[in-house]
């Protein structure tokens, strides 16, 4: 029917359409043509650790975003939140895969995601705490996306590994959207009703103490020539501007204490991560050796 | 029942004639065309129920999202759940061209005044359910929906073209998951058979009651809202599915299933219509749960939607002040 | 309509360079920018499209489908006429 042609064009677009049945199965592969050999001056163990740090951040936050599915405040937001989750999941898969290549173990993304205990996860505590209400989730996303966008922008330029640079370059484009999404809601909730402003401020206050960990360097990343502490000032400046524009107050709260000097990067987490992983890993662990 | 009103107002009989002529010529009725009130009401009900089904249908699979056993499966399932939200939105948009508001339709869903597909009132109990829903439930939905791409109402037909395309991906991912599981461990194969045993009959019931018990069919067919009877579609689904089941190596739980040389089709048993009636009437395993989740999301989101509306209002005010 | 529901926007997609923007459907959003973001998420999920337009549905003026149609009063000149309530039978088994 001629009156259907537009939709057919959209749905069938091109020959790649067949591959478009799920994210990450038919889109331009950011690693296409990228040499996976390690550069000679890079320590594989350090690179692997760094990929796990970034990959675990993405995986754990993706799992939290997935928990929103069927609970979002509006159907349009269901679609948006799923997009964010899919982006982060895609980043996690590439980073965990790279970790297994870099350390020479050949471990797969699933080996890392499903068969490590909570002490072996290297994500920051910010991404693992429970979702709370929509404002709390938005506050967390804002902090993470702003800091991660700044980080990926650096990593895409300066990381001593071309796979990591390619992942970060692709990830930066995605994170820019995540940041816009979060900043958009920050503004609408902060400058919306009195009630929403209260919730948004409470959300910011709750996650703010977890921000500092994103700027606390782990020795592995320092050895790779990347220091997240350099991002502290520019990210804080950006967050301050966004929060003030939303007519809210930048929290004046100290960073959450570490445990014996250790925190998420060293595998010392909040109680929330163990429960999150118990759920994430349950089916896989019920069937050791199975292929899915 | 909707009073059948095919006559146009007495002052303008040519409106009804034109409507009938457009439908008979296989052209599309568009939103601003005159249409019989019963046609409009039938479409609103059908499109809304279809939209509700997509949105409620996110829940049974969403149940496994956080536990998907590989990251690839997790990404596929999340993309699928997202597609379903998208399909719901396309359909609500089509319904809105008929002069209803999505907020009202949502209200009708959560107050139980409008239905959604009863299939989603069954629980998902193991990961193979995700595959079986893709294969059987989405497969049955495709049988039902492909003819709707030629529905006489333009916005609905156009939405269905896009939805059907995406649904075929869903069905394929479901079948691919099941093939993987059938090649896997003994426990995985048992999961698949268990899931097939539970979903087979509800899938057959998705096509609705037998033609003899389906009073609206004739009128919907005359209006080109419906193209085939329930029994025709059910037979088509069975004929498509039996060879797929054989290829997969699962047993369909119907002792009466056998090839009928004469008809060139598969004979099959009668679904348990009494059980289906119970599920439709609200006593299914998950009816209460599905609605309460949707209701909670809608109510818990009210302050968020309100804040955004208020922000937009303030922004407009500020623009005016400048 | 409840106080918290968002206005309707119409969405237009340019499927690829060289083609016009084409109407693909609608969505609800609180404001223009959110409408654009939601349109990206909803209508270009599979990368269909190189450009998007969103327009408040209330801003569209439409012709009547036929000049000899005197009966289209209720819609005025708006594409969408809502909310109008239609009786929907509630006891019809939906499968």
Give the closest-approach CA distance of C2 to chain A in angstroms: 14
Q: What is the mean predicted confidence (pLDDT) over C10-28?
A: 91
pLDDT band at C92 (very low <50, low <70, confident <90, very high): very low
User: Is pLDDT at B2 greater than 90 in this prediction?
Assistant: no
Q: What is the mean predicted confidence (pLDDT) over B128-149?
A: 94
- C48-77 pLDDT per residue, tens: 778 999 999 999 988 766 544 544 444 444
pLDDT of residue A147: 98
Residue partners of B97: CB distance under 8 A and separation at least 6: B31, B155, C79, C80
Nearest to B191 by CA among B242, B246, B130, B127: B127
- B165-214 pLDDT per residue, tens: 888 888 888 999 999 999 999 999 999 999 999 999 999 999 988 888 77
User: Is pLDDT at B93 greater than 70 in this prediction?
Assistant: yes
Helix (H) or strand (E) holding B160: helix B154-182
CATH number at residue A83: 1.20.1260.10
User: Is pLDDT at B1 greater than 70 in this prediction?
Assistant: no
pLDDT of residue B10: 62
Q: Which pair of structure tokens corresponds to residue A199? A: 């919730």
pLDDT of residue A29: 64
Verify whether the Cβ–Cβ distance B12 to C27 is below 8 Å: no
Verify whether the Cβ–Cβ distance B45 to C31 is below 8 Å: no
Question: Would you call C80 an interface residue with chain B, using a CB distance cutoff of 8 Å?
Answer: yes
Please check whether residue A13 lies inside any domain of the structure.
no
Show residues of chain C in contact with A68, CB under 8 Å: none
Residue partners of A38: CB distance under 8 A and separation at least 6: A44, A47, A102, A161
Give the closest-approach CA distance of C4 to chain A in angstroms: 10
- B237-260 pLDDT per residue, tens: 999 999 999 999 999 999 999 999
Percent of chain B at pLDDT > 90 equals: 78
pLDDT of residue C81: 38
pLDDT of residue B226: 85
Verify whether the Cβ–Cβ distance A184 to C37 is below 8 Å: yes
Q: Which pair of structure tokens corresponds to residue A30? A: 């950011």
pLDDT of residue C66: 57
Please check whether residue A273 lies inside any domain of the structure.
yes
Question: Low-confidence residues of chain A, pLDDT below 50?
Answer: 1-27
Q: What is the DSSP string of B7-76?
A: PPPTT-HHHHHHHHHHHHTT--B-TTS---HHHHHHHHHHHHHHHHHHHHTHHHHHTTGGG-SSHHHHHH
Q: What is the mean predicted confidence (pLDDT) over B125-133?
A: 97
- B16-66 pLDDT per residue, tens: 899 999 999 999 999 988 999 999 999 999 999 999 999 999 999 999 999
pLDDT of residue C44: 84
Verify whether the Cβ–Cβ distance B75 to A67 is below 8 Å: no
Question: Would you call B52 an interface residue with chain A, using a CB distance cutoff of 8 Å?
Answer: no
User: Is pLDDT at C78 greater than 70 in this prediction?
Assistant: no
Please check whether residue A42 lies inside any domain of the structure.
no
Helix (H) or strand (E) holding B222: helix B217-222
Please check whether residue A117 lies inside any domain of the structure.
yes
pLDDT band at C32 (very low <50, low <70, confident <90, very high): very high
Total domain count, chain A: 1
Q: Is the pTM of this model over 0.80?
A: yes
Please give the Cα distance from B107 to B279 (Å, whole number): 21
Average pLDDT, chain B: 92
Q: Considering only residues 61 to 100 of chain A, which have any Cβ-Cβ distance to chain B shorter than 8 Å? A: 63, 66-67, 69-79, 82-83, 85-86, 89-90, 92-93, 96
**Which chains touch A (3+ CB pairs under 8 A)?**
B, C
Which position has the higher pLDDT, C18 or A191?
A191
Show residues of chain C in contact with A76, CB under 8 Å: 27-29, 34, 38, 41-42
Domain residue limits at A128: 47-286
User: Is pLDDT at C82 greater than 70 in this prediction?
Assistant: no
Backbone angles phi, psi at B18, to 5 degrees: -65, -40
Q: What is the CA radius of gyration of chain A?
A: 20
User: Is pLDDT at C6 greater than 80 in this prediction?
Assistant: yes
Mutation for testing the C interface, residue in A3, A20, A74 having most C CBs under 10 Å: A74
pLDDT of residue B166: 85
Show residues of chain A in contact with C41, CB under 8 Å: 76, 79-80, 83
**One-letter-per-residue 3-state SS of chain A:** CHHHHHHHHHHHCCHHHHHCCCCCCCCCCCCCCCCCCCCCCCCHHHHHHHHHHHHHHHHHHHHHHHCCCCCCCCHHHHHHHHHHHHHHHHHHHHHHHHHHHHCCCCCCHHHHHHCCCHHHCCCCHHHCCCCCCHHHHHHHHHHHHHHHHHHHHHHHHHCCCHHHHHHHHHHHHHHHHHHHHHHHHHHHHHCCCHHHHHHHHHHHHHHHHHCHHHHCCCHHHHHCCCCHHHHHHHHHHHHHHHHHHCCCCCCCCCCCCCECCECHHHCCCCHHHHHHHHHHHHHHHHCCCCCC
Please check whether residue A39 lies inside any domain of the structure.
no
pLDDT band at B9 (very low <50, low <70, confident <90, very high): low
Q: Which of B7-16, B42-51, B68-77 has the lowest mean pLDDT?
A: B7-16
Please check whether residue A25 lies inside any domain of the structure.
no
Please check whether residue A82 lies inside any domain of the structure.
yes
Which chain C residue's Cα is nearest to B214? C93
Please check whether residue A28 lies inside any domain of the structure.
no
Show residues of chain C in contact with B94, CB under 8 Å: 25
Nearest to B308 among C6, C46, C69 (CB): C6
């Amino acid at each position: 029917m001629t009156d259907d042609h537009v939709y057919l064009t959209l749905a069938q677009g091109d020959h790649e359409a067949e591959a478009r049945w799920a994210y990450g199965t038919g889109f331009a592969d950011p690693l296409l043509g990228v040499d996976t050999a390690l550069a000679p001056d890079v320590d594989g163990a350090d690179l692997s650790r760094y990929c796990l740090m970034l990959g675990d951040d993405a995986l754990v936050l993706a799992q939290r975003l997935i928990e929103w599915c069927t609970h979002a405040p509006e159907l349009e937001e269901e679609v948006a939140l799923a997009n964010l989750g899919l982006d982060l999941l895609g980043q996690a898969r590439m980073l965990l895969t790279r970790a297994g290549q870099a350390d020479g173990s050949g471990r797969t993304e699933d080996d890392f995601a499903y068969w490590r205990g909570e002490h072996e996860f290297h994500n920051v505590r910010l991404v693992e705490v429970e979702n709370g209400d929509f404002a709390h989730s938005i506050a967390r996303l804002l902090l993470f996306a702003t800091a991660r966008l700044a980080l990926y922008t650096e990593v895409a330029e300066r990381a001593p590994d071309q796979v990591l640079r390619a992942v970060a370059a692709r990830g930066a484009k995605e994170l820019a959207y995540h940041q816009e999404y979060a900043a958009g809601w920050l503004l609408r909730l902060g400058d919306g009703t009195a009630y929403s402003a209260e919730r948004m401020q409470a959300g910011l206050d709750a996650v703010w103490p977890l921000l500092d960990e994103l700027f606390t360097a782990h020795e592995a990343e320092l050895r790779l020539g990347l220091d997240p502490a350099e991002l502290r000032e520019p990210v804080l400046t950006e967050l301050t501007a966004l929060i003030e524009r939303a007519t809210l107050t930048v929290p004046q709260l100290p960073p959450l204490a570490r445990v014996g000097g250790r925190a998420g990067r060293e595998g010392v987490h909040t109680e929330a991560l163990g429960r999150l992983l118990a759920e994430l890993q349950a089916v896989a662990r019920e069937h050791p050796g199975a292929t899915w | 029942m909707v009073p059948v009103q095919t006559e146009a107002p007495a002052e303008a009989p040519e409106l009804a004639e034109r409507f009938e002529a457009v439908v008979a010529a296989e052209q599309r009725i568009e939103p601003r065309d005159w249409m019989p009130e019963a046609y409009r009401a039938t479409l609103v009900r059908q499109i809304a129920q279809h939209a509700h089904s997509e949105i409620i249908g996110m829940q049974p699979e969403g149940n496994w999202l956080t536990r998907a056993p590989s990251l690839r499966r997790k990404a596929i399932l999340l993309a699928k759940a997202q597609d379903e939200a998208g399909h719901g939105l396309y359909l609500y948009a089509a319904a809105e061209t008929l002069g209803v508001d999505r907020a009202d339709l949502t209200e009708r869903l959560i107050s139980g005044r409008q239905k959604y597909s009863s299939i989603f009132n069954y629980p998902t109990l193991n990961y193979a359910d995700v595959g079986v829903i893709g294969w059987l439930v989405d497969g049955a939905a495709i049988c039902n929906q492909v003819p709707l791409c030629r529905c006489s109402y333009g916005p609905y037909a156009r939405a269905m073209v896009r939805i059907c395309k995406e649904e075929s991906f869903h069905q394929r991912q479901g079948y691919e998951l099941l093939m993987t599981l059938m090649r896997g461990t003994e426990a995985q194969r048992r999961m698949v058979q268990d899931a097939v045993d539970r979903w087979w009959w509800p899938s057959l019931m998705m096509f609705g009651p037998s033609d003899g018990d389906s009073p609206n069919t004739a009128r919907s067919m005359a209006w080109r809202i419906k193209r085939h009877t329930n029994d025709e579609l059910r037979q088509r689904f069975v004929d498509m599915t039996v060879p797929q089941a054989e290829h997969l190596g699962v047993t369909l739980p119907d002792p009466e299933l056998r090839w009928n040389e004469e008809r060139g089709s598969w004979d099959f048993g009668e679904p348990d219509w009494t059980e289906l009636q119970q599920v439709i009437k609200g006593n299914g395993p998950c009816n209460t749960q599905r609605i309460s989740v949707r209701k909670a999301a809608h109510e818990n989101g009210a302050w968020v939607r309100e804040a955004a509306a208020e922000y937009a209002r303030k922004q407009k005010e500020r623009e005016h002040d400048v | 309509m409840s106080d918290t529901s968002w206005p309707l926007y119409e969405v237009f997609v340019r499927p690829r360079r060289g083609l016009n923007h084409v109407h693909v459907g609608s969505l609800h959003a609180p404001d223009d920018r959110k409408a654009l973001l939601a349109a990206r998420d909803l209508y270009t999920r599979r990368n269909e499209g190189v450009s998007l337009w969103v327009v408040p549905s209330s801003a569209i003026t439409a012709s009547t489908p036929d000049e000899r149609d005197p009966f289209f009063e209720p819609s005025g000149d708006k594409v969408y006429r809502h909310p109008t309530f239609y009786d929907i039978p509630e006891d019809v088994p939906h499968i």
